[in-house]
Every structure is written in C-alpha cells, then in structure tokens.
C-alpha cells in the first residue's frame, strides 16, 4: 500500500492492530489515492478569490481562510473545514510548514496563508508548539514578514541556521546532502508551502524545488536545469516519508526573472494550488506560468531553453514521485 508518508510495515501493522485498517478507520489519506478521485488520477485543486486583497495589497485573513477551506475540502472530499487536517496529521504529531522566503515581502509565502493553516491545524488538535514554520534562514523569514519564535506555547518559527544540519550525509541518485534538523528532529509531517515562481535555472519553482531549502548544499544542484537533482532530492527518504501535502501560494506569482522578486514580472493570480502529488502540482503550476508568459508575449520556457524537465524526471520509473501526465491529473477549480 502506497501510504502518504511511506509508513513502515511495522507502523502499518501496529495501526491496523490498534485501530483497524487505516483506510477504513483512521482515514489517513495516501497521496495519489484521494477519496473520490478517479482511479489512478492525481487531484490538484486550485482555489481562487479575485477579492483576496482588500485594498489591492493586503491579504484579507478571512478570505484566505475561506479559500484554504474550499481547496482543502475539495481535495479531501470533505464537507467540514477541519476534517481534512485530521486526515493529514495524527494526534501528537509535530508539523513542519516549509515556506519559501527567498523573494522577500514581494514574492514569498504569505504570512496570512500560514496563519490560516496554523489555525486549522490547531483546530484539528495540533498543539501550537508542535507546529514549526521554517525555511533555510531566519533572516530571510523575517524579511518576508515572519517573526522568529521559539517560545514554548506558541507556533515555532525559525530557520535551519538556528537548528543546523544533520552530520550524516543522505544520498539518492546524484544527490548527497545533509538534512535540516528541523525536518529530521522537529517534525513528523511536512506540509510544503512554496510559491509559484519562474526560475532562471529550473524553469519554474513550486512544490518539488522548494525541497532545496531542506538540504545543506543546494548550490551544487543547479546545473542542467536542476535535473535530475530536484527529483533526487525529493527521493531522500526523510523527505519522501514525511511529505504530506503541498499548499502552493500562487497569490502573487512570477512568470519571468525568478526566483528573486522583480515587480515587473510578478502578477496577482490570487490562488492556492493544493495537492498531495507534488509532480502533478508542478505540472499544473508550469501550465499557469506558460499561460501568463503567452499573455505577456514571451517565449515558452521550452523556447527559452529552460523547460522544467525535472518534472518529467520526477515522474519517471526511477522516481515515481507523482504524475506529469495531464490525462492522469484531475484538476479541480473552486
């Protein structure tokens, strides 16, 4: 059985013995097999709200929570806003929200979105102190509007610069890296909260590329359009085992000049893209960026010599991180 976080056989048996069959009783949702999805299809939900920004700049907290609820409920086929989160996180588990803050305040994971996720997680029974919002660097987090916090009773927020990297190398394919201790020691479930952006090397960056912020040496994995490195990084066992969900922030996205923030190439898509299949999500995000590039009269990424080939690699037989076949992706707009 292909579980969401590659639960070990022992864990699987233990849960079966204590709580009955997982699918039948606990409802933990494995990726690529969400309830209600046609067999073999990966569900990607895009939630939009053109009125997300009250005055054109500030994100309305109530509206972002509403969009989040709609997308999560559509993804998990639930009529309850809290239920999806309970399917994602077991009681007592610690949750890491891996954000992306390279783009400063202009093009980073938006704080109101993260606050909304934290609110729903807590309502689903996760203690505030068991949630850690993190990225590579604390300064970058703060520049993006997050506040450093290690207080015992609050949501934690700090960078790997404050926690360090594991001493041991982990390897897969062409990648050999040390993992952030935040991933290895501070969280049981990983919720990936990247930003939809153009990327000068990889073509685009969304779900899969955001895992470069988990390893100590991302600079080594940018040649050749980051291919096959992005796929290989996502195959590292700790990442693969803990990855639960991607909530891609496409409230502001970029179609050129990324991954840094360049206002002239950013646009307000006012959307969230949510999936448990990071490959399908990246494929979907790529199409959104291509549409915007066409609208702006720019060449396709392929014609620009930087098509995101890493997406196909992530879907190949060696990686099987998800699907990039549009026929096997069920895109739902809410």
Partner 1 sequence: MKFEMLPELASATASANLTSEHVPFSSPLDRRSFLKCALASGTALSICDLAHPLIAVPTASALPKQDDSRFRVEARFYHKLQNRKIKCKLCPRECTVGDKERGYCGVRENHGGTYYTLVHSRVCAAHIDPIEKKPLFHYLPGTLAFSLATAGCNVNCKFCQNWDISQVRPEQAPADYAPPKLVTELARQHGCPTIAYTYSEPVVFSEFLMDTADAGHEAGIRSVVVSNGYMQEDALKAAYGKMDAVKIDLKAFSESYYKDVVVGELKPVLDALLTLRKMGKWTEIVYLVVPTLNDSDSEFRDLARWIKRNLGTDVPVHFTQFHPEYLLKNLPITPVPTLERAKAIADAEGLHYVYLGNVPGHPAENTYCPKCHGMLVERLGLTAKQMLIRKGSCPFCGQQIPGVWHV
**Which residues bind to partner 1, rule: CB under 8 A?**
102, 138-139, 150, 158, 161-165, 169, 171, 176, 181, 200, 216-217, 219-220, 222-223, 257-260, 262
Closest distance of CB 77 from partner 1, Å: 39
For residue 176, the minimal CB distance to partner 1 (Å) is 5
Q: Which of 121, 128, 133, 129 is nearest to 89 (CA)?
A: 121
Q: How far is the CB of 299 from partner 1 (least distance, A)?
A: 16
Residue 269: what are its φ and ψ, rounded to 5°? -85, -20
CA angle 117, 110, 204 (to 5 degrees): 105
Give the whole-angstrom CA distance, residue 290 versus residue 34.
27
Q: Which residues contact 334 (CB under 8 A, 6 or more apart)?
A: 45, 46, 47, 48, 70, 71, 74
Sign of CA dihedral 236, 138, 162, 246: negative
SS3 273: strand
CA distances from 194 to 38, 102, 250 (A): 27, 10, 9
Q: How far is the CB of 170 from partner 1 (least distance, A)?
A: 11
d(CA 67, CA 123): 17
Give the C-alpha separation, 186 to 30, whole Å.
22
Q: Provide the 3-class DSSP secondary structure of residue 12.
A: helix
For residues 27 and 260, which CB has a smaller minimum distance to partner 1 in the complex? 260
Q: How far is the CB of 146 from partner 1 (least distance, A)?
A: 15
Length of the chain measured in residues: 334
Closest by Cα among 329, 334, 320 to 2: 320
């Amino acid at each position: 059985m292909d579980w969401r976080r590659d639960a070990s056989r022992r864990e699987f048996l233990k849960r079966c013995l204590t709580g009955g069959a997982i699918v039948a009783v606990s409802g933990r949702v494995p990726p690529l097999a969400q309830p209600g999805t046609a067999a073999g299809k990966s569900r990607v939900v895009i939630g939009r709200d053109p009125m997300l920004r009250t005055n054109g700049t500030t994100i309305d907290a109530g509206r972002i929570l509403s969009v989040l609820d709609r997308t999560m409920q559509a993804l998990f086929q639930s009529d309850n806003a809290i239920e999806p989160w309970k399917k994602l996180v077991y009681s007592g588990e610690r949750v890491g929200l891996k954000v992306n803050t390279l783009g400063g305040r202009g093009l980073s994971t938006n704080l109101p979105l993260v606050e909304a996720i934290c609110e729903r997680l807590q309502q689903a029974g996760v203690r505030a102190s068991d949630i850690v919002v993190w990225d590579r660097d604390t300064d970058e987090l703060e520049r993006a509007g997050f506040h450093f916090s290690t207080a015992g009773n609050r949501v934690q927020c700090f960078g790997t610069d404050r926690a360090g990297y594991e001493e041991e190398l982990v390897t897969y394919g062409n990648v050999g890296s040390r993992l952030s201790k935040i991933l290895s020691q501070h969280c049981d479930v990983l919720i990936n909260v990247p930003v939809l952006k153009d990327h000068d090397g990889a073509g685009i960056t969304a779900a899969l590329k955001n895992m470069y912020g988990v390893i100590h040496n991302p600079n080594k994995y940018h040649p050749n359009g980051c291919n096959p490195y992005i796929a290989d990084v996502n195959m590292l066992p700790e990442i693969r085992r803990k990855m639960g969900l991607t909530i891609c922030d496409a409230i502001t996205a970029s179609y050129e000049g990324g991954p840094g923030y360049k206002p002239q190439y950013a646009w307000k898509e006012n959307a969230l893209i949510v999936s448990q299949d990071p490959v399908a999500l990246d494929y979907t995000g790529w199409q959104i960026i291509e549409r915007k590039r066409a609208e702006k009269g720019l060449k396709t990424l392929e014609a620009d010599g930087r098509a995101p080939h890493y997406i196909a690699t992530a879907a190949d037989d060696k990686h099987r991180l998800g699907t990039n076949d549009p026929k096997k992706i069920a895109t739902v707009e809410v």
